[in-house]
Structure 1
Amino acid sequence: MAENNTAQAPAKKGKLKAIIALVVIILLAVGLSVAGTLWFLNGSLPGMGEASEPESSTPTFVPSSYTDIEKPLVTTVQAQGRQRYAQVHVSLEAKDPAALAAADVHMPLIRSQLVMLLGGSDFTELQTPGGRTALAEKMLESVNQVLAQEGEPAIERVLFRNFVVQ
């Protein structure tokens, strides 16, 4: 019986070596498969060769920033020989925060220009959506003109938060 036990012990040791060798071969095959897939998909392995640059053709999203003109613009508007009132709460939109900072610095001049523009508008046009859109575009041109005179970046839009004519 003793002879039987010694003969079986080396067989277990041989099986253990075979299992370890098989696991190493499987891990090596999986690793080579992953490396081959990455090479075919990317053209090279990560960390090898030149660093990949992000695509410049894809535009990056830049969120807008806003600033409010704190006090509403209030002025009289002429309508068929009568005086009417207009009150407009305005916000400015820009992608560049420097443009909004510049608008805050030059706010007295911008407010003056916007009040003059609003006062010179036609009352019947201010009652229509198209007239309000045209007024917003004129206000945008006026604000950007003031900022351009001061050598500052331009804003993108003038937004109405509240618009009242009576």
Structure 2
Amino acid sequence: MADKDNLNLGGDAPQAEEKSGGKGKLIIIIVAVVVLLGGGAGAFLFLSGGDEAEGRDAVAEVVEEAPKIPLYLDVEKLLVNLEHGGRTRYVQAEMQLMSYKQEAIDQAARDMPAIRDGLITLFSRQDFAALKTVEGKDALRADALKAVNQALGLTPPDAIEKIYFENFVLQ
């Protein structure tokens, strides 16, 4: 029996050494990985942190490229009469002015009488038959945008950027 105990003890001893040796190797590998990652992160921060102005420029570009929020201003209903084929016809339009600049919207609100005057003059010169077509409405929208910005004395990028018809009736 003593031989069995010696054999059994001898068999357990090498296993105990392997287990402690395995844990030591694992700790060394973990420490090595942590040191390498820390050194890599430190090198990255050292090399990229040298030019702070460049970093600020990159942040400024991201801020400038943020989505623009459109601002709208309602133009009260316009009712304009036209002569067509010897008869009096009417154009009724409701519009929204759109800009990304609050200053342009504020100025348009202040100068709404001049805007309405320019739009009424423009609408009254239109050909009634042409306004029945999509192309005629698109041309009128483009001309109306020019008239609004001319009345305001604004040019891009500080100008009113679009006009949307909310209601357009020909009678």
Q: Indicate whether the TM-score tops 0.5.
A: yes
How far the C-alpha of 1:14 sits from its partner, in A, is 7.3
Instruction: Say which is worse superposed, 45-54 or 124-133, in terms of deviation.
Output: 45-54
Q: 2:72 maps to what in 1?
A: 66
Aligned equivalents of 2:129 and 2:105: distance in 1? 32
The percentage of counterpart residues that share the same residue type is 29
How far the C-alpha of 1:19 sits from its partner, in A, is 4.5
Aligned equivalents of 1:15 and 1:90: distance in 2? 79
Number of residues of Structure 1 aligned to a counterpart in Structure 2: 150
Aligned equivalents of 1:131 and 1:160: distance in 2? 13
Aligned equivalents of 1:13 and 1:133: distance in 2? 83
Which stretches in structure 1 are left out of the alignment for 5+ residues?
none
Q: 1:24 maps to what in 2?
A: 31
TM-score normalized by the length of structure 2: 0.71
Matched, 1:48 2:52: no
Q: 1:157 pairs with 148, 155, 162, which one? A: 162
Structure whose CA Rg is larger: 2
Distance 1:19 1:154, change over 3 A: closer
Q: 1:101 maps to what in 2?
A: 106
Which stretches in structure 2 are left out of the alignment for 5+ residues?
1-8
Aligned equivalents of 1:110 and 1:120: distance in 2? 16
Which is richer in helix? 2
How far the C-alpha of 1:28 sits from its partner, in A, is 2.0
